[in-house]
Amino acid sequence: MKLPIIKHLTAFIQENDEDFVIEAAETLEALTEVSSLKEEELDVIGELISNMYGALEVNNMIKEGADPKKAANDFMKRVLGSIDS
């Protein structure tokens, strides 16, 4: 996951609607079922999906009253903490 991408997607969600990101993520998930995709391509799609769901999570934190910058940083800390465990 990349914080700049998550921040950009979060701004997109706030300017538009989270449904766009949800539908895009679902479309990418459907693409992962294509048997001819190479491992590298699957990795890129997986990274995009992760960033999209990360942005949705950050957006939910903002909706609950968190400061946008703090929400993004707290989310990344949580992600990195789960990787280290």
pLDDT digits (tens, 9 = 90+) for 3-58: 999 999 999 999 999 999 999 999 999 999 999 999 999 999 999 999 999 999 99
How many other C-beta atoms lie within 10 A of the C-beta of residue 4?
Answer: 9
- Higher pLDDT: 81 or 61? It is 61
pTM of the model: 0.90
Q: In the chain, what are the domain boundaries?
A: 3-84
Give the start-end residues of each E strand in the chain.
Answer: none
- Kindly indicate the confidence band of residue 80, based on its pLDDT and cuts at 50, 70 and 90: confident
